[in-house]
Structure 1
Amino acid sequence: MLRAVPVPWTNVYGLARTLLALGTLGTLAFSSTGTLFRPVATQGDHPVCAGPMRAGVFCVAPEDGLTATRWLCVLVLVVVASGWRPRWTALPHAWVSFSVFSGIAIADGGDQVTVVLSTLLALTALGDPRRWHWRVLPEGAARHRPRAVLAGATGLVLVRIQMSFLYFQSCVAKLPHAEWADGTAMWYWGHSIAFGAPGPLRPLVDPVLASPLGVALLTWVPLVIEMGLAASLLLAQRWRWRLFAAGVLFHLSIAVMMGLWSFALAMIGGLVVLCFPLGSHLDVTPPEAVRAVFRRNTGATDRPEGAGDGAKPEAEDGQEPFGPPVPAGSPGTPGPSAPAGSGR
């Protein structure tokens, strides 16, 4: 008898998709067309439309239509980030991610991570029957979709393996360099013109960089976090929560210090899939006090729209009508599951 496979369509994987989309969206929305597409030494003009890169949306667009195409991609990413119709937006998201990484002149590691993760998450999203990836799938709604459940869970497992290997490689690749081994690497990065701390943070950062112990901690603590995240799949869930918090703080620090926000969002999106239990849901139910204030100020009720007048709640794609979703427990609470290859 095959072991039960957790149903992958939860708001946890939805949050990962949203973070990935927001990272790419920020690059396209807050960078001018002239900055994104310009000549680069040894590479020529961008977008470079040769080999597989010809499949990028910016190579398909007319030469004078790069700005319009850029904003069209922004619109696609807004829809992806909103969570609407994940099965419809899965492939457009992967295409836009590939197009940005292969087509712009200032691509960074975050764009590369986003290409890989959005492609793997497409395996999950293509079978997602929900209208919004924030909703909780009703109990038993996936019992007749064992192949889709298995494909979706496989996509999430592949993301986990990818993230684990990424952190392992990132840590191990630094170790042969003397600056990382002796604890001085962050002194050089901290004083870099391109990646050093911005002016307002200098009064906080400079005293740390002036301290041998401070520089050593700034250099070695990230290595410990990366190796811990690389091994997280082998650890108990309570340690994964701690590593998740450390990883989020680590990447947000990089974003604030070095300005690499698209990279931070991509990595945090991957961390969500790596560290949260498969099939788990985030409990986003507002406290009762907040809901009471909302009802008092708006006259709204907790009843679904149309209740009491014979109307039925809207159904998901291919499913029977069901009531309004109720988030299932805490972040560690697993959602419904269906055995792979069976009728449930």
Structure 2
Amino acid sequence: MRADDVVPLGRTDVSVTRLGLGLASIGGLFAPVSAEDAARTVDRAWDAGVRLFDTAPVYGYGLSERRTGAALASRPRAAYALCTKVGRLIVPGGTDTQPIWADPPPGVGPRRDYSYAGVMRSVEDSLERLGLDRIDVLHVHDPDEDFPAAVTDAYRALAELRARGAVGAVSIGVNHAPVAARYLREVASPGPDCVLLAGRYNLLDRTGLDDLLPLCAARGVAVLAAGVYHSGLFTDPRPTAPHGYRTVPAALARRVAAWHALCRRHDVPPAAAAVRFPFGHRAVTSAVVGARTPAEVADTVRAFAHPVPEGFWAAAKSADLLPREAPTPAI
């Protein structure tokens, strides 16, 4: 399996590469990124064969979408899959702000809106920022923020867009696997085509395996695994690194250290183990990995290409770093 292998996204007509580029970082996640670095990061991913790009209105309050659109403007539109999200409008005076964005545009902020009209407006706004006329994969972002509206009004809007060909695939983007499983069970038929699962199916957190991934496999719902580096703990675990932890909890730090030690013994880069692990489950189509520099893209592509022997996974289970029932990828 290669990072640039192209596969169908579940039961849809959308094609994606095994490796996708998450674009929150180029919107200033945790630390500022220049426009030049943002463009060069997307360019480096393209040169490596990556053709799956995932952004959202809330990423830098529109900044990520604008930079994504600019970086992809010269690329053949049929050659890549673009994902964005609905659930928050970027409006003057929006108060649903988040402190994780380093340099958002002044005077605007997010406002939660999962209504039918709000979703339709969000799509129009995203297309304007991106400079595109269609979206390949549209996620309902964080449906737990207003679950009753997200599972009814927002889905109705997305299903309508899918039916008329304005959207290639309908999805949800979640940070909690039980929320996604509940959504799939309660939404009207035929339901989403895809789930973007962030941080809940990786070497440190496998709650996606409890219910969601088996459900997706049974229903033919594709899974895009994000957060595989667990906020950077498998690439740069230093306390000063720009990730989601101010202080890594002691128990988690011990498990991270154990994984790093196992990787050293087997000559496997920690990033390689992290980015390859989700593909052990048949529901997982792609891994979506963020980057803020071309070097980070190159590091992930190199990690994806590094073979991880079956003996490594067996050793991880023997050390109780993985449960015995966790499916693991072939070499």
Task: Sort the TM-score into its range (normalised by shorter chain).
Answer: under 0.3
Larger helix proportion of the pair = 1
Looking at secondary structure, tell me which structure has more strand per residue.
Answer: 2
What TM-score do the two structures reach when normalised by structure 2? 0.27
Larger Rg: 1
Normalized against structure 1, the TM-score is what?
A: 0.26
Higher normalized contact order (CA 8 Å, seq sep 6+, divided by chain length): 1
